[in-house]
Amino acid sequence: MFLKTLVVSMFGTNCYLVGCSQTKEGVVIDPGAEGKRIIKEIKEAGIKIKFIINTHGHVDHIGANSRLKEALGAPVLLHRRDLEIYQNPGFGLGLVVGKQPQPDRFIKEGDRINFGRLSLQVIETPGHTPGGVSLYMPGAVFSGDTLFAGSIGRTDLAGGSFHEIIQSIKKRLLVLPPDTVVYPGHGPASTIGDEARSNPFVCY
């Protein structure tokens, strides 16, 4: 597997390029900004992007969607429950954001996003937003703004729910194998085992 993390935007969002080393097909997860830079990295890696995936609809995770879709022609994937946030991505953050391309496909619990010989399984993890998702493959989970190293996503923005995010983490993420690497929307990577043992929000 090819995996590259690009930290983009003033929010320090982790944008992930994930590709199949054998077929050179891949996906972009959460292109929050700096579309020109992301496209440059994709070309240098020689990856053909099949999908642009948003773990949720906030501006810092979707800001470069338009530029990437125009340049790459790849469909944009999002959970339907985040469509309103996606269409008004600066709402609650005091930001004015340009119009986003309409999602090409809505993803839901249990869907598999296939590229090359790899596949990401969609896990619905609401709480940070109503339609927040995490993306799992054996050995790795891309948790968006649900689970961070030693912390969790904020729940004080529109559509957020502290109860939901805790349930999402405990019932849908911490049940994954302990050695699963957690690639969050912001900050350093961790593992499911480390978060189950020491994350103060969920290990009590």
pLDDT the model gives residue 79:
98
Nearest CA-CA partner of 61 in 150, 161, 128: 128
In this structure, is residue 204 part of a structural domain?
A: no
Strands (E) in 30-145, as ranges, are 48-53, 76-79, 105-107, 112-115, 118-124, 133-137, 140-144
Alpha carbon 129 to chain centroid distance?
12
Query: Which helix (H) or strand (E) element contains residue 74?
Result: none
Residue 52 lies in a domain: yes
Range of the domain at 192: 2-198
CATH number, domain of 129, equals 3.60.15.10
The CB density around residue 110, as the number of other CB atoms within 10 Å, is 9
Q: How many of the other CB atoms lie within 10 Å of CB of 79?
A: 26
Is 203 within a domain? no
Q: 170 lies in a domain?
A: yes
Give the span between the Cα atoms of 141 and 176, in whole angstroms. Answer: 9
Each as own residue / partner, the long-range contacts of residues 88-95 (CB below 8 Å, 24 or more positions apart, any chain) are 89/57, 89/58, 89/59, 89/62, 89/63, 90/59, 91/158, 92/157, 92/158, 93/58, 93/59, 93/157, 95/59
Question: For every one of its 204 residues, what pLDDT tens digit does the chain have, with 9 covering 90 and above?
Answer: 999 999 998 899 999 999 999 999 999 999 999 999 999 999 999 999 999 999 999 999 999 999 999 999 999 999 999 999 998 866 555 555 667 899 999 999 999 999 999 999 999 999 999 999 999 999 999 999 999 999 999 999 889 999 999 999 999 999 999 999 999 999 999 999 999 999 999 976
**191 in any annotated domain:** yes
How many domains in the chain? 1
What pLDDT, on a 0 to 100 scale, did the predictor assign at position 100? 82
Is 61 a member of any domain? yes
The backbone torsions φ and ψ at residue 157, rounded to the nearest 5 degrees and listed phi first, read: -90, 170
